[in-house]
Structure formats: structure tokens, C-alpha cells
Structure 1
Amino acid sequence: MSKHSTTIHARASARTEALHNPSPVVRANSMQTGLLNRNRILGIGCWNVRTFPNPGTQSLTTRKIYQYNVGACCLSEVRIPDSGSLEIKIPGAKSHFTLYHSDPREFSDWILGKTVHEEDGVELAAGRRLADLDYANFITLLTSSFGDLQSMVSRINVRPYLRDVYTRRLIQGPEKYRPRSAWKPWNYDSELLAFSHRIQEKMDVLTLQKCFTDESYASYINSVMSPDDKKASIEDNGMLALKGRQVAQTYVTSFLRAQYPNLPEEWVGCITDRLLSDTELASIGGHLGITDLVLYSCLPRESGSPLLPENTRPPSLTSIASCFLAVIGALAEDPKTAHLLVRDFILTRLTELDFCADFDFPMQDDPFPLLKQVLLSMNRGPPEPRLQWQCSMNTLLACYQIGIYSDTQLIGEAPGETLEIAEIEAGRQSLRNLFGIHDSRPPLPLTGSYSPPDISRRNKSLADYGCT
């Protein structure tokens, strides 16, 4: 920002006469009133200027405009240094004005120091006094840029407002939980139809409603029914969820075995358990909108309870996961449709998960016994760790690079803060390279035509390698 105030001409009223001599003129930065704070005396000016053909016969008046207290000044272009003040006296005028540097806590640049009261007419030319003239088209604020104005308004108005809103929210307390169905408009059948379009499957509305009926909701509603009305009782999604889990587990396991044939069965099961956990399935179901569709009850039914449960918290992760698995179970009549749903929504999570950090594989903490047995089954020599390079050994940023060799061939390498850490990490990286789950592996075929899974195929287990 320049040391001087950058200014522009302020436009005068519609009745302003033609300007023959451009001196003196009114110059100031312009800004509309909507950005100004109410009921505060700010360094703003509302100019009402009538310019006459003869030089020096120019007068100015100010009034209170709406809720703003304004000040005024009429002068030629004046530039003020960063410190001190400048007193301006206009010949023939009864008052004089002072421009001074503002307090940095309140304003950002030079402001008008003299304020003219309401209905006061300031005589700037001898023998002439004008009042009640039209206002200029701009209310001006003596700041150097729009960014300075925003900063000033934020300090004066926005911060106290936000602080007050935050304090009131703390006093009010947390807002009561209200599900999406409590807001209007809400049509449950339309939402079910929209869900079927989101997964691009044609499903009956009654079937979808059964998929989203949690066991807690069914028990809450059925508890008030008499034994004669058992035929009209509500069915929950328990059986469909169990069937859907079996279908998903079978397809995920077969898919991983086909894509990673060297991966041990225990490691395949570890990945499958992670993908089919309640946390992962609830995350997928939440992105599909199941959180708003599930019918559940937070508390069991008691005497005096309403006909429908009044939930005070969102559904649990287990409820959302069961609903998603129930949808897979409902589509299991056509295995291809169910398997494609699993591939499109569950297996795609593998693109975001890291085999190095997100899975706790067996025998990963001490990788060398398993690495030795894997190399032995491949008719290769035992692993030999070697120090490749080191740097900053006597500092807090020490780094050691360890490589694992077998028959003079490098099978894995990794850095570490100490020799022990680098050696263990290099052993883990060697196992990932041998099992085909290294960082440079090809992407999974998660698109394209459908191929049925080979259920009969199984990978080697840790017991087959001689490890338990």
C-alpha cells in the first residue's frame, strides 16, 4: 500500500452546474453505505457540492443521512504522510478541518477529523451560504482500498457479532437431534425410489422398506400387537443382512484371491474383515443416504411410550451396515447384480486404503521368519539385510537405508531412524513385494465386464509356509 491516500473524484448531485474551473474539487475514496455499520460515528463524508463558473465560489453542507452520522470537507487533492496531521483552512470559511492518521484499532488510513453537525451550513466562499442541497451519489470513506474497508468493518462489526452469536449458542446448549424425516417436505416412498436410482437397480418399494427396517424398530412396533395380529407384524432386515454378508464375503474373498494369488489366506481374511466391518459399511451407506432412510428405535418400548419411536440420536453404525447388507441380500436372487453392487461400492474402498498402514497383517511385526519361509518355498536363499547408506548419524534427523538381498538380488529396501527400525521396515517391504501388494502394483479391475468368482480357489496359508 502506498504511503499516500489514493483518491478518486466523488460525483456531485444532479443539479450540479457545469464545471469551468476544476479547482477546488472534492476527492475521496468511494464506498456504498451498505457496508457501513449502523449507529456509529465513522469517518465518512457525504458531499453535497455545487460548483459555480467562477473559481473559489464553492460551498458544502452536511446532514444526518438515515442512521449515519457524517462529516464533510471540501478541498483540493491533498496527500498526507504516514504520521502527524495537517490543518486545512479554506479562505472565507468560518470553520477549518484537520486530516489526521487514525487509530489502527479503529480505522485503516487517513480520516476526516472535523465533523459538521446536522443542518449546519459551512460557508466556504465569502458571502454565500447554501444548505439542503442534493446528496452526492456516493458516500465516501477515506480508506486506501476496498481490502482496508473490509478489515475495518470486520473489526468494528463482524467480530463482536460472531462472538455474541457464539456465546448465545453456548448458553442455548446443543440443538435437539432431528432426523431428516422431521423436516418438510418428506415423502418416504419417494426417498426409497430415489435410493434405488442411486444404486441403479430396480427394487420394489416394499422390499426396500424391509431392507431399512432395523430389528429395534420392528420389536418396538410389534410389542403393542396382540397375538391375533402376528400376521400383520413388521419384519426386520436381519435375515436379508445375514444373506447379504455371506454374498459379500464370498465375492470379496474370491476377488482378492484372484488378484493377489501370492497373498496368504490370513492376509486375505484381514482385508475382507476390514472391508466388511461396520465402520466401512456404515461409511458407504451414509454416502448413499441410508442414514436418513433406516427405521430404528433408540430405546425399547415402555408403558406410555408414543406409537412411533422418537429418536434422540442418529442410528448406530451397526444399523446402517445391516441395512446396506440387507440391500445386497435382497439383490442376491441374481448373483451377478449382487456381485456388481459389492464391486462398485465395497471393493472400490481398496483404492483409498493403504496396505502398508491401514491393515494389521499377521506376523508383520517380526517379518523375517515368514520372509525366510517364503523365500525357501521359492527355492531362493535366505534374506540378508545390508546397510546401503546413512546420514546425520549423530543428530535427531538420523536416517539409515537398509536393503534386503536374496542370492545377491535386492528384494526390498526401506529407511528408518535407527538400524533396527529400518531393518524391520525393509523386511515388511520385502514381503509386500513378494506378495504383490507393493506400491507400484497395477490398479484393480473394478470396471468392465463381470466375471464370475472362482470359489474353489484358495491361496497358501501361513501354515503352508511353516509359520503359525
Structure 2
Amino acid sequence: MLSSRVLRSLSLLKPRVSSVNTFVERREIKTWLKNTLVEMKDRDRDFDLIPHKQRHRREWIDWNYDCEIFAFNARLGEKLPLDKLKGVFIDQSYVDEESRKNKELGLEGVGVEFESNRKLAEKGERIMKQFIASYLRFFLPRVPEEGILSILENLCSDKNLSHISGYIGCTELIMSPLVNPTDVMLSTAVKSLLGLLEETSGSQQCQKFIIDIILPYLNDKDLLEIWNPISPEIKVQQILQNDGLPQFEARLLRETGRNTIFSCYTVGLYVNKNLLGYGPGESIEIAKEMAAYDTLRRFFNLTPSQVLFKFGPPAHNLDYTSKLNQTNPPLKDWKLSDFNENIFDHNSKQQNQHQKPDTKIAASM
């Protein structure tokens, strides 16, 4: 379809009749252009919308791969060997494609043999997971080991690492048969880059790269939502049993919009008349589940004011080796008393902020 600007210009081709019945020509567009636009309209197509075949950046004449590798090295602030840095971006699919082409041409064993980044990626993945696990245990000592592993797997997933890979400029450097590399290719490039850093600059420099580039992805994230423990009410009750406390009691703190589509209930969980946590929901059952999540968030110090990660230079010189082989307690053995804290101390202030629970409605729950 033609744009509104072109249609307006066509309408201006009509001659204008003046008050003295004389014709005044308006020269807006050339006659040949007018005929071309009319023909385009008749064909019901727009030549500007013809799809073009996607081409990789390396297929353009102004592409200089060596300069791009040098610039990438400079952006990271590293001094990696450029020949080895090129190997970081050679995907296994590219090696297989080149081998197939040489075989079709009868040139097997002739020319340069490419080596993929698979080995570097395996080494980098092992280093990355070991260090991130020790980092999380260092800053989240009260989170059970199941939560640490869930956050670790989420951070090291192909989806997140592909985003990080795109942000540091790996997308156009990856050598693969595809124009747009997949998430697996992008994440493999990051892992292989970590493996090369460990080989050339040492483990200390590799850990700094993880702290500066990968771990900030956790900033301002709800870690309990990433973990997403199933059946939070059962887990709260299990922790209470481990501390020798009775079963919690759910009480309705406030409500609004009952029997409407805008209903909202706020339920609190109590033990011995002490508030553990509270949460809202469109129904009492949902609010009770949200209150259980809030209780777990307070038990594990996962509230926004309690998650205090450090990034950059302040985190470079901290000792994480003590947490490398020392795991956090599992959820089935987790006790709040192990952290020298009374279960009601950190929630006593929250209780004063709420009105007295409606025992009559709570009894019906």
C-alpha cells in the first residue's frame, strides 16, 4: 500500500482552477514518477517492502574480522592472544560445515584445520558454576542448598548467558553456518571465553570477569521467585517442626471488595500469637500461599533490603574459597535456631503494623 505522503502528493497533480477560469499547473512530482506510482498501485505492491536475503556480517565487503576481534579484546579490558581469542567463537557447526565443503571438493586434509570451542566451553562451564556457587553461599548463607542450586542453574542457563553474550558483542563474531546464532551458540561462546581467561590470565582474572559481567544479572531480581519452591506452606511447617514449634495459624488481616472481581484479602501466618509473614491475594487460599512465600523470604533473608550482593572491585578481594566445598544446609534440616536468632525477633516489628486479626474469619479458614 502507498503511504499517505505519496497519496497526498498525487492529489496535488490535479490542475487548480483560478477565479478567472485559467489553469495553473503545480509541479509537485515528475510525470514519470506519477506513472510509476500508479503502476505500483495497480500491482498492489510496494518495492520498498521486497524481502532481502539475510547475510552474515562477514559477507559484506567492509567487514574486517581481525579488527573486530581486536576491538572485542579491548572492550573487555583483557590482553588475550588474538589467535586464541578467535578460537573462542568457532562453533562446532561451523567446523562440521567446513569439513563437509572440503569433502565435496575433494580437499580433505588440505588447508587449515579448525578446532571448535567445545573443550574451552566445558572447562569454562565447570569454573563458572564452581565459583558462582561459592559466591552465592558467601552472600546467602541462610538460603538452603536447593535454593542455591536453583539460582545457579537459572543464572547459567543458555537463555541468560545468550543475553550476556549479546551485550558484550559476541553475536556477529561467532563463526557458524547460521546468520543469527542460537542461544546455545551464544552461551557456549561465553563459557569458552571463561576457559580461555583461565588458561591465559589465571583463575583470579577469570573470577573477576564473572563478578563484573555475569553475576550483576542477579541484581534487583527476586531470588525466591527464581527458586520458586513448591508447596511453601508445607516447607514453612517443616521448618517450624525442626525448631520444635507448633503448627502455624492463618488469620485474615484485612479484606476489600468481597464478592466482586476486585476482591483482595491479606492473610498473616501466626505462631504463638507472633506474626511470621503476610501476603495478599484475590482469594483467601491464594493469600495464604503468598503469606507462606513471604515467611520463607524472611526466614532465608531474601527480602530486597537483606540481599546485599557486591560487584566490581569491592567483591574482587573477598575470600570465597571457604564456601567452595562447604554447602549450605538442606531444606529438610534447616533451622532458624542454627543462626542464633529467635524465630520471632525479626518479625516482631511487622506485627505492630497490622490491626488485630479477625479471629472469627480466621476460624473459618
Query: What TM-score range do you get, normalising by the shorter chain?
Result: 0.7 to 0.9
Pick from 343, 350, 356 the counterpart of residue 218 of structure 2: 350
Give the superposition deviation at 1:401: 0.5
**Residues 212/398 of structure 1: CA separation in 2 closer, same or farther (3 Å cut):** same
SS in 2 for 1:203: coil
Q: Quick one: distance in 1 between partners of 2:134 and 2:80?
A: 26
- State the number of aligned residues: 310
Structure 1 residues 391 and 219 mapped into 2: Cα distance closer, same or farther (>3 Å)? same
List runs of 5+ in structure 1 lacking aligned partners.
1-34, 42-66, 72-112, 121-138, 140-159, 299-312
Q: Which has the higher contact order (CA 8 A, sep 6+)?
A: 2
Q: 1:191 aligns with which of 68, 89, 102?
A: 68
Deviation (angstroms), 1:411: 1.9
**1:297 Cα deviation from its structure 2 partner:** 2.4
Indicate the residue corresponding to 2:267 in structure 1.
402
Q: What is the aligned partner in structure 2 of residue 117 from structure 1?
A: 22
Question: Which residue of structure 1 aligns with residue 148 of structure 2?
Answer: 268
Task: Confirm whether residue 368 of structure 1 aligns to residue 233 of structure 2.
Answer: yes
Q: Determine the structure 2 residue equivalent to 1:341.
A: 209
1:228 deviation in Å? Answer: 8.6
Answering whether residue 168 of structure 2 is matched by residue 288 of structure 1, we say yes
SS in 2 for 1:346: helix
Partner Cα distance (2:21, 2:217) in 1: 69
Change in Cα spacing, 1:395 to 1:192, as seen in structure 2 (3 Å) is same
CA offset digits 1:363-411 (Å, max 9, x no partner) = 3xx1122112223434544322111011211211111110112332222
1:221 aligns with 2:98: yes
Q: Residue 340 of structure 2 corresponds to which residue in structure 1?
A: none
Q: CA 1:394/1:431 → structure 2, altered by over 3 Å: closer, same or farther?
A: same
| Other structure's SS at 1:410 match | strand
Partner of 2:56 in structure 1?
A: 179
Q: What are the superposed Cα offsets for residues 263-307 of structure 1, whole Å, 9 maximum, x if unpaired?
A: 111111111111111111111111222110001125xxxxxxxxx
Residue 24 of structure 1 is matched in structure 2 by none
1:419 to 257, 274, 284: 284
How many Å separate the matches in 2 of 1:350 and 1:445?
A: 11
The one-letter code matched in structure 2 to 1:243 is K
Work out whether residues 264 and 459 of structure 1, in 8 Å CA contact, stay in contact via their aligned partners in 2. yes
Summarize the Cα distance change of 1:230–1:411 in structure 2 as closer, same or farther, 3 Å threshold. Answer: farther
**Amino acid in structure 2 at the alignment position of 1:193:** F
Q: Could you report, residue by residue, the CA deviation over 1:338-380 in whole angstroms, capped at 9, with x for unpaired residues?
A: 11111122111112533354x25333xx112211222343454
1:56-455 equivalences in 2 (<5 Å): 114=19, 117-118=22-23, 167-168=45-46, 172=50, 174-223=51-100, 224=102, 229=109, 232-298=112-178, 313-333=179-199, 334-357=202-225, 359-363=226-230, 366-378=231-243, 380-447=245-312, 448=314, 449-453=316-320, 454-455=323-324
Deviation at 1:237, TM superposition (A): 0.3
SS at match of 2:333: coil
Find the structure with the greater CA-based Rg.
1
User: Residues of 2 paired with 1:68 and 1:460: CA distance?
Assistant: 84
Give SS of 1:292's match.
coil
Separation (CA, whole Å) in 1 of partners of 2:281 and 2:20 = 70
Partner-residue secondary structure (3-state), 1:412: strand
Change (3 A) 1:235 1:428: same
2-structure distance, mates of 1:272, 1:166: 54
TM-score computed with the length of structure 2 as normaliser: 0.75
Report the AA paired with residue 124 of structure 2. G
Distance change >3 Å, CA 189–CA 115, structure 1 → 2: farther
RMSD (CA atoms): 3.4
CA deviation profile, 1:121-169 (whole Å, cap 9, x unmatched): xxxxxxxxxxxxxxxxxx9xxxxxxxxxxxxxxxxxxxx99x9799537
User: How many percent of aligned residue pairs carry the same amino acid?
Assistant: 27
Which range moved further: 248-257 or 447-456? 447-456
Q: Deviations over 1:173-192 (max 9, x none)?
A: x4311122223311101101
1:461 pairs with 2:326: no
2:139–2:308 Cα contact (<8 Å) kept: no
User: Higher strand proportion, which one?
Assistant: 1
